[in-house]
Amino acid sequence: MRKKVLPLLLTAIVFSVAGKAEAGDKGFQFAPPPFAILNLRSVDVKTDTSWDYIGMKMGDFKFNVLNYGTGRAVKKWDSGGFSLGTNVQLILGTGKFDMGNGDNSSFTLGGMGLGIQPNWYFDLKGNEEDDFSLPFYFGPHLTGSVTSGSLSFKTQWLSYYDATYIPYYGYIYTPHYVEVTDTMRMTTSVLMYGWQAGIQAGINLGEYFKFVPYVDFSQELGGTTKTTISAIYTEAMNSTTSTSIKSTPIATQPGFDFQLRKIALSLGGAIKNSKSGGQDGTKIKTTVFHIRFQHKFRSICGI
């Protein structure tokens, strides 16, 4: 039975730090929301520092991701420019896994990920004043992650053979099994590439606040994953496999920012309900909260 369960576990737990917390046939992607790109002059540079919490619940599994992100946007022409975002993530997952024999085994997973997302952006309505703006952006991304987890379960282990002698026939050996708790350890490394695009709106709410709703689209175009599995007693599980990852469905994530205009601080979040891309269509709930600090300054050389 465990030989059937193991491929399902591997299918469910392949992690990337790109995309929009969407599950496909190959696993999950965790990513923070985009940085706001609003009302830059041709000589302005804006830097962002962000702390993001990303939580995902899928069945009995719950994953928590803490993301530290940095961004830099430069206005290169009248209506647009270039931006660059980077992410460093810590991943922790816990949950229960049904081994198919009535045993609900505890599962834990931890790891880290890195990502880089360059973008070109164009502001359809913004100008040099801090008023209404409507920028859209698009660009590629490259992400990687390494995660390691363990799963404990009950199994039967061959302890000894009982030998019985039958005259004129010979010895008959009867195996004797004992129940033991086995531990499967799994390490997965993932490298993926894709694209993202989206649109934002900067809406002033009086002198002190700005409301920034947005919708972000992303897709993983491909990648590769390597998984190493080892077990103490169930030696048939021991393996190392490398797999090419195909493209995933386009993910859509709306969200918002509330900016405090006088102190360059923004708070925001998003809640999303979706289904996995597999045949079971498992429901997924994703919650994102973030706090960000911005700094805008004049640049003589425009970098």
pLDDT tens per residue across all 303 residues of the chain: 333 344 334 444 443 333 333 333 344 456 666 777 776 666 677 888 888 888 887 777 777 888 888 888 887 877 788 888 888 888 887 776 665 555 666 777 788 888 999 999 888 876 666 778 888 899 999 988 888 888 777 777 777 677 777 887 777 877 777 777 777 788 888 898 999 999 988 888 888 888 888 888 888 898 898 888 888 777 777 888 888 888 878 888 888 888 888 888 888 887 776 555 444 556 777 788 888 888 776 665 555
Which architecture characterizes domain 2-298 according to CATH? Beta Barrel (2.40)
Q: For residue 152, which of 179, 180, 178, 181 has the smallest C-alpha distance?
A: 181
Strands 170-200 and 104-123, bridge-based pairing: unpaired
Q: What is the pLDDT of residue 30?
A: 61
Provide the residue ranges of all domains of the chain, joining segments of one domain with +: 2-298
pLDDT in the model for residue 9: 44
- pTM for the model stands at 0.74
Determine the pLDDT at residue 1: 37
Q: What is the pLDDT of residue 32?
A: 65
What are the CA-CA distances from residue 221 to residues 193, 194, 267, 296 (Å)?
6, 5, 31, 34
Three-class HEC string of the chain: CHHHHHHHHHHHCCEECCCCCCEECCEEECCCCCCCCCCCCCCEEEEEEEEEEEEEEECCEEEEEEEEEEEEEEEEECCEEEEEEEEEEEEEEEEEEECCCCCEEEEEEEEEEEEEEEEEEEECCCCCCCCCECEEEEEEEEEEEEEEEEEEEEEEEEEEEEEEEECCCEEEEEEEEEEEEEEEEEEEEEEEEEEEEEEECEEEECCCEEEEEEEEEEEEEEEEEEEEEEECCCHHHCEEEEEEECCCCCEEEEEEEEEECCCCEEEEEEEEEEECCCCCCCEEEEEEEEEEEEEEEECCCCC
